């Protein structure tokens, strides 16, 4: 028998257009706490979802305790003793705590009746263990986020498991609750159970884990014992690659006067007291890991989310957008990260997509629309942005990811904004198209537009931005000019290194 | 200042009490209001008994519909399913000369069959429930028209008649069936593992899948169970009509869905209970009865019922907002 308890060998997984896992081999010893780290999109969650039976691999083998296993659904994963604590709670708000804990193995007596005595007794036991002082009969909807997380953990403990996967379990927890969670993890380890711990908080990894595996771009880079490495080294491995030549070289942009100012913008629970400004011709990068609040800031500026406090100034005048439509009308465009869901009407023609954002002021002609101009504008952008499509009448869904993204860019350009916010503009598109998008964005800045470039890919943030704002857990923790920014430095702040202001 | 705050809080309290328990108070209020404005006859024992008997058909269908809507699905085909089932059963007894017991079983099985058909469309073919059951609504009424030549056929054997108009002691059989169905549904929904899964599937499909619940299987079983309740309701309809009439069950989905939503089950799924649906069925029946007694024109009748649906949906929206399902 091999020295490893869990072996995932040569696992590969493809999503349309993305090679999410490339021959990944991930090995975990019995009874260790094994950290899994990597940038967003490195493939950690995909790998764990395969272990949890949520996704099926395209290739590769999995062995548990030397036995080859096929995990075809979450039910099978549970039978094999794999307990999964998901990043986002998988609880049912309108069921009681007890029923949530035992949802997968409700104790049943005769005639299909739930054995309530056993259910409540065992729930109380588990709640005591995880340190949650609540009546198991109350509904989950009445709990706080942190309490829900504890229920989630109780759920994972409710059946005999040998492998516990914790995917970012501490994000909603306070320090005290994190300590409590670590106590539980240590107890599990003492019982000889195996734990896989995914976290962005590197400090936690050094506090509790035995080994650490770094993933990057769908591959395992390295596995080492935690005591033989350090934070800087981990960050270097996570970030890895050299800055390629993908980005527009040489900054010949002239920065103009300030166009957008954000002061103490707050939207609970996502972010608070966020302040920054953008000049004409400048690209301001906003970097942060999942849950840092990057996208939410953008959504709040354009009025998709209501703000709790703070002010926004456009060209010196205070503005309040209560709907993205108003933001467009005032010249603030927002390119959303969810291209297919929100940015593009995939069942509509290319030209309709491009003209969509200008309906409100650009094309109106009395009560009707200037349809001829609509098509002229579309033709112009298809040409300017080199959108590869047979005609402007092609349905957007038939275009490649990169060309779809260009259509979305064209849509915002047709509304001729003064400020353009781009949120993860290159997600899920191939390398060539990425480079084109970078050049288009840089070109827009050159023409005097103020750009806010939001991304969780450290490489493009460094390649594109004139200034980088780093967010961690809803706060701006650092602001670094391009010349001083390095991958390590940015990653250091983004993983909660220290809250200092570098200027 | 603080007094004003407390006043507004208590007002909000009353409002939310109405949203939560309004259904029970509404039944009582409606009854009293109708009693005040309507002739004596309304309060008579026989009329109350009649209201309960009438409520039984909508009420029993509402049981199954509650399950369906809790899983965030819908069924528009209940009226057609009832007509189809009754038509088959009546033809079996009157034309083929089969025994009443067989006829009864055919009615039940035909309704279950429609439920299974809907369930398969939705879980296997991945059809949107609204469209799938809309299709069934047309298909099964069409079949029933074809089989019966859209004619009325009367004359039911005593075994069946007793279900609709018979009594055990002083209590109508239909009312006993109604209560039995609700007790059974209450038990299944609140006390069994299956019921917990029903809530889970409606509350969060993805999470239910991750918890290892076989989501399509639960949805399929819900439609099957729903078909059974439609079958029981069809038996009572058949008995009360003393056979089959072409208009049987027309527009019934309207009443049944309204009853369920009035009763606090939410279109968004995962929330609801059967007792609310029973109250909803009573309200619908009270309104139907009152409008009949008042001899209101058929046009007003539709306007009034449409408004009740509107009210039910508005209540549902308020409820969802308060429960934080939508913001």
pLDDT in tens, A444-478: 888 889 999 998 888 888 888 999 999 988 899 98
Mean local confidence (pLDDT), A269-280: 91
pLDDT confidence of residue B19: 57
CB nearest to B207's CB, from A73, A92, A99: A92
d(CA A401, CA A439): 17
Count the Cβ atoms, other than its own, within 10 Å of residue B41: 9
pLDDT confidence of residue B1: 35
pLDDT confidence of residue A266: 92
> Is B81 part of any domain?
yes
Mean local confidence (pLDDT), A244-268: 78
d(CA A449, CA B207): 43
> Is B183 part of any domain?
yes
What's the Cα-to-Cα distance from A172 to each of A89, A149, A202, B39, rounded to whole Å?
A: 10, 8, 16, 62
> Is B102 part of any domain?
yes
Nearest CA in chain A to B70: A94
Q: Is the pLDDT of residue A340 over 70?
A: no
d(CA A487, CA A497): 13
> Is B176 part of any domain?
yes
Nearest CA in chain A to B189: A113
Domain count along chain B:
1
Q: How far is B249 from chain A (nearest CA, A)?
A: 33
pLDDT in tens, A408-450: 888 888 777 899 999 888 876 666 677 788 888 888 888 889 9
Q: Which residues of B touch A52 (CB under 8 A)?
A: 210
d(CA A333, CA A424): 14
Q: Which residues pair with A21 in a beta bridge?
A: A13
> Is B1 part of any domain?
no
Mutate to test the interface with A, among B196, B197, B321 (most CBs of A within 10 A): B196
Interface contact flag, A114 B211, Cβ < 8 Å: no
Nearest residue to B206 (alpha-carbon basis) of A88, A299, A225, A142: A88
Q: Would you say the pTM of this structure is higher than 0.90?
A: no
* Better-predicted residue by pLDDT, B65 or A181: B65
Nearest residue to A210 (alpha-carbon basis) of A180, A188, A178: A188
CB nearest to B196's CB, from A78, A86, A106: A106
Interface contact flag, A74 B206, Cβ < 8 Å: no
pLDDT in tens, A202-235: 788 899 999 999 998 888 999 999 999 887 788 7
Contact residues for A214 (Cβ-Cβ < 8 A; gap 6+): A37, A38, A220, A221, A222, A223, A234, A237, A238
pLDDT confidence of residue A242: 46
* Better-predicted residue by pLDDT, A125 or A87: A125
d(CA B196, CA B206): 15
Contact residues for A96 (Cβ-Cβ < 8 A; gap 6+): A136, A137, A138, A139, A140
CATH number of domain containing B68: 1.10.3470
* Better-predicted residue by pLDDT, A355 or A400: A355
Q: Which residues of B touch A108 (CB under 8 A)?
A: 192-193
pLDDT confidence of residue A341: 65
CB nearest to A74's CB, from B187, B192, B209: B209
Distance of CA A199 to the CA centre of its chain: 13
Q: Which residues of B touch A84 (CB under 8 A)?
A: 210
d(CA A439, CA A433): 10
d(CA A134, CA B34): 46
DSSP state of A3: S
Its CATH class, for the domain covering A4-239, is alpha beta
**What is the residue extent of each domain of chain A?**
4-239, 258-341+417-494
> Is B2 part of any domain?
no
Interface contact flag, A95 B192, Cβ < 8 Å: no
pLDDT confidence of residue A490: 87
ipTM over 0.90: no
HSE-CB at A439 with a 13 A cutoff on CA atoms is 12
> Is B14 part of any domain?
no
A258-341+417-494 falls under which CATH superfamily? P-loop containing nucleotide triphosphate hydrolases (3.40.50.300)
Chain A interface, Cβ < 8 Å to B: 52, 54, 73-75, 77-78, 84, 86, 90-95, 99, 103-104, 106, 108, 112-114, 141
pLDDT confidence of residue B16: 58
Tokens of B109: 């099985």
Straight-line distance from the first to the last Cα atom of chain A, in angstroms, rounded to the nearest whole number: 56
On whether the CB atoms of residues A153 and A184 are closer than 8 A, the answer is yes
Mean confidence (pLDDT) of chain A: 85
Interface contact flag, A114 B199, Cβ < 8 Å: no
d(CA A104, CA B285): 40
Q: How far is A113 from chain B (nearest CA, A)?
A: 4
Residue-number span of the structural domain to which B113 is assigned: 50-322
pLDDT confidence of residue A426: 80
Mutate to test the interface with A, among B20, B190, B193 (most CBs of A within 10 A): B193
Tokens of A122: 């065992």
Q: Is B307 on the interface with A (CB under 8 A)?
A: no
pLDDT in tens, B152-190: 999 899 989 988 888 988 889 999 999 999 999 999 999
On whether the CB atoms of residues A351 and A378 are closer than 8 A, the answer is yes
* Better-predicted residue by pLDDT, B17 or A192: A192
Interface contact flag, A103 B200, Cβ < 8 Å: yes
Length in residues, chain B:
327
On whether the CB atoms of residues A43 and A19 are closer than 8 A, the answer is no
Lowest-confidence region among A66-70, A352-356, A489-493, B253-257: A352-356
On whether the CB atoms of residues A374 and A355 are closer than 8 A, the answer is yes
Q: Which residues of chain B have pLDDT under 50?
A: 1-12, 326-327
pLDDT confidence of residue B197: 95
The reply to whether A258-341+417-494 shares the fold of A4-239 is yes
Nearest CA in chain B to A306: B327
d(CA A403, CA A389): 8
pLDDT confidence of residue A104: 86
């Amino acid at each position: 028998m091999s020295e490893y308890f869990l072996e995932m060998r040569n696992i590969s997984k493809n999503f349309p257009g993305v090679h999410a896992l490339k021959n990944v081999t991930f090995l975990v010893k019995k009874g260790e706490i094994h950290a899994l780290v990597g940038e967003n999109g490195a493939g950690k969650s995909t790998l764990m979802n395969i272990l949890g039976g949520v996704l099926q691999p395209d290739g590769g083998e999995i062995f548990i305790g030397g036995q080859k296993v096929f995990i075809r659904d979450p039910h099978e994963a549970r039978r094999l003793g794999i307990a999964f604590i998901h990043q986002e709670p998988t609880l049912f708000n309108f069921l009681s705590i007890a029923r949530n804990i035992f949802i997968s193995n409700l104790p049943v007596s005769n005639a299909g009746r739930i054995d309530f005595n056993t259910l409540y007794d065992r729930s109380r036991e588990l709640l005591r263990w995880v340190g949650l002082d609540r009546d198991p009969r109350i509904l989950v909807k009445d709990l706080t986020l942190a309490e829900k997380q504890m229920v989630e953990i109780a759920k994972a403990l409710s059946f005999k498991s040998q492998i516990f996967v914790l995917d970012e379990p501490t994000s909603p927890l306070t320090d005290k609750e994190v300590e409590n969670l670590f106590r539980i993890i240590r107890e599990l380890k003492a019982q000889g159970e195996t734990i896989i711990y995914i976290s962005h908080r590197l400090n936690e990894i050094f506090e509790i884990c035995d080994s650490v595996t770094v993933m990057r771009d769908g591959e395992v880079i390295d596995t080492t014992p935690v005591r033989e490495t350090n934070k800087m080294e981990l960050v270097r491995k996570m970030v890895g690659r050299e800055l390629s030549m993908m980005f527009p070289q040489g900054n010949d942009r002239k920065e103009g006067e300030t166009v957008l100012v954000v002061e103490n913008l707050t939207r609970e629970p996502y972010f608070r007291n966020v302040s920054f400004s953008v000049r004409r011709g400048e690209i301001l990068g906003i970097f942060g890991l999942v849950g840092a609040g990057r996208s939410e800031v953008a959504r709040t500026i354009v009025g998709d989310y209501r703000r709790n406090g703070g002010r926004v100034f456009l060209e010196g005048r205070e503005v309040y957008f209560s709907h993205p439509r108003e933001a467009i009308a005032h010249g603030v465009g927002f390119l959303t990260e969810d291209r297919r869901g929100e940015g593009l009407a995939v069942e509509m023609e290319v030209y309709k997509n491009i003209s969509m954002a200008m309906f409100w002021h650009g094309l109106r002609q009395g009560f009707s629309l200037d349809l001829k101009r609509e098509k002229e504008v579309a033709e112009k952008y298809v040409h300017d942005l080199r959108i590869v499509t047979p005609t402007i009448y092609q349905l957007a869904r038939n275009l490649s990811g990169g060309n779809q993204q260009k259509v979305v860019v064209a849509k915002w350009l047709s509304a001729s904004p003064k400020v353009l916010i781009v949120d993860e503009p290159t997600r899920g598109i191939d390398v060539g198209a990425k480079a084109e998008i970078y050049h288009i964005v840089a070109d827009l800045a050159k023409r005097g537009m103020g750009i806010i470039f939001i991304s969780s890919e450290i490489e493009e943030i460094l390649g594109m931005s004139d200034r980088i704002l780093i967010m961690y857990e809803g706060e701006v923790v650092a602001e670094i000019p391009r010349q001083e920014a390095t991958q390590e430095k940015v990653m250091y702040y983004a993983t909660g290194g220290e809250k200092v202001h570098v200027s | 200042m603080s007094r004003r705050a407390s006043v507004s809080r208590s007002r909000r309290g009353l409002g939310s009490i109405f949203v939560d328990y309004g259904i029970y108070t509404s039944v009582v209020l409606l009854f009293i209001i109708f009693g005040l404005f309507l002739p004596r006859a309304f309060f008579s024992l026989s009329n109350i008994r009649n209201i309960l008997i009438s409520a039984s058909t909508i009420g029993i269908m509402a049981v199954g519909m509650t399950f369906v809507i809790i899983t965030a699905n819908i069924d528009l085909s209940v009226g057609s399913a009832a007509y189809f089932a009754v038509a088959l059963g009546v033809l079996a007894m009157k034309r083929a000369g089969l025994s009443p017991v067989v006829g009864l079983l055919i009615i039940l099985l035909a309704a279950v069959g429609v439920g299974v058909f809907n369930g398969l469309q939705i879980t296997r073919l991945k059809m949107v429930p609204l469209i799938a059951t809309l299709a069934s609504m047309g298909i099964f009424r069409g079949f029933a028209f074809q089989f019966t030549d859209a004619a009325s056929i009367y004359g039911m054997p005593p075994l069946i008649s007793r279900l609709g108009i018979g009594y055990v002691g002083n209590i109508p059989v239909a009312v006993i069936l109604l209560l039995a169905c609700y007790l059974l549904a209450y038990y299944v929904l609140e006390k069994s593992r299956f019921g917990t899964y029903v809530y889970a599937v409606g509350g969060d499909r993805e999470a239910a899948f991750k918890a290892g619940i076989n989501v399509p299987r639960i949805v399929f079983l819900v439609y099957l169970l729903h078909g059974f309740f439609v079958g029981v309701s069809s038996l009572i309809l058949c008995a009360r009509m003393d056979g089959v009439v072409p208009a049987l069950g027309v527009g019934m989905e309207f009443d049944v869905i309204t009853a369920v939503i009035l009763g606090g089950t939410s279109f968004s799924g995962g929330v609801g209970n059967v007792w609310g649906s029973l109250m909803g069925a009573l309200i619908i029946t009270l309104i139907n009865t009152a409008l009949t007694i008042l001899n209101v024109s058929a046009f007003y009748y539709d306007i009034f019922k449409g408004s009740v649906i509107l009210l039910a949906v508005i209540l549902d929206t308020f409820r969802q907002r308060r429960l934080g399902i939508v913001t």
